[in-house]
Structure 1
């Protein structure tokens, strides 16, 4: 019986050792998977496979828990056997004491009873040993099955992860190519925008130059309009006008055709220079039909030029005309007019006879 108990203890130690080895293998597999899963933890597919491995680990934990429960049962049975052994030893001690006190006939009865109890105990130990052997064998079969299934499952998961990693690498390569293409397009777009910006700047510069030039021209034009002095007036049939002239008389040009800058008085026929400058003075005479009309261009009472519409022959029946001009520097306040030298009548149906003064340079 002691030998049987020793065998049970040895078997129990073997089961514990196998359980420890199995735990080490499971821990090693889990460590390898966790290490691999850490590298590829950013994939949804790897997360799914990780969940499958966790389920497998839960099954393994359940199996280990069942094994531990079996071991606990074996330990309880072993303790029961030890307790029974202690009881038998006590009874043997009691029987030995009784044997010393009783006769030989009582010894035979006690010996038979002891043998019977020993046989019953041996049968119980054999049944327990058989049950333990069957449990251990079942456990070993489960462990061998799990040891075969776990590497296969892990290998399948690892291969799947490698395949997914390959797909991910290809996707990353495509993404890099797309990013490179987008970068090239952006550079080309930036180049086009830069050229357009340069063209726009040039156009803005040209428009600015044109605007400044126009502004200067407009300013010059306004300045010229402000500084320009000019007029043209004519003699025409106006009721109340003197239609008969005499020598020394000032010709009054009442009809102003154009005037800017002032200076001409249509009532007196005299132009007074409003500004100092270089002026052109121009006069045209048209004598009445079959007559002569001679005038002088007067500046401050001094005759500067004559305008003579001369009839050379009394046998010629036409309208005579004549024109003349003077370029003269006038000071502000100088006076200019047209004075009759000879003749009596001017053609005045419309402004044929005219008087004009234009300032051509006011920088003096």
Structure 2
């Protein structure tokens, strides 16, 4: 801007110094001293025309110079305004940079604090892994003891069967001896033989039936004992397998939950204490598995009842959910998680609540948002502390109708932590 101003002054100076008149020989004069007497009329007219043109040119130059001066003043004002704006912008930028530096320092402190939390959580996880190692070692010892008891039972069973076979062989030998003796008696006293033979045959048949009955009873008892042993072994194996699988799943779930809860520091300590309590209960053998998932296998465009019943049971261990009433009854005290998913019918709206002992805890909407959307889905989840006998169910709050299918879309689930 300064260079432009200087250039404008130079141009004005040049115009001022070179705006000379041809008729006045380069000297600026207010009047022209010519001898009009020596000129004819035609020349005088031409001269007058030239003077008029020169006057017009001078006036035009003066107007242009004034316009240039106004433009210079306007440019100078714009330059001052721009410099003021630049100064204000610089101050604002400096303040923002200072605030950003403060925020960066605050974030660094928060990062360090979270890092210490993560370190403590990792230590807790290592402790849990050690506890799992102890549980696995206990399981192996129990399996070894079970195998030893099974071998001893099989040995005892083999001994009993061997004794029975020996008795059968002795009985066969006795029968042969009796048969020989009967033949000898038959030769001497036919009638006596017949009588004695009938008597002996009756006794022998009774003895054989008794022995057969005892053998069948012994075989049935052995079969039942073997079946019970196999069932007991299978039950214990399944229980141990489910226990370990559930423990591993819970550990993975708790690990993911712990990572998520690092962003929610206020609730992380209580979640870890609940997980430790559950793990202690499992190690002491007092963990009770309770979980269910139920659904609806058909749609209803006009349903407007109170309690939403899910008649199809997909999973229900612990027997807490009743498909007839649609209510879950807590079999034991503890912390439970409940989840509901409901889909609206076409453009209709449906709102349902998860209810605990008659009090609504959370609500979910599946509604039309004004754009004529079809089949909206509403979901929600709640964690509740239930006492034994407490009831939880799904209640309609507003709207009507729902959508489901042979593979359920509208479902209700829950499990014990």
TM bin (shorter chain): 0.3 to 0.5
Larger radius of gyration: 1
Normalized against structure 1, the TM-score is what?
0.37
Tell which has more relative contact order, 1 or 2 (C-alpha 8 A, sep 6+). 1
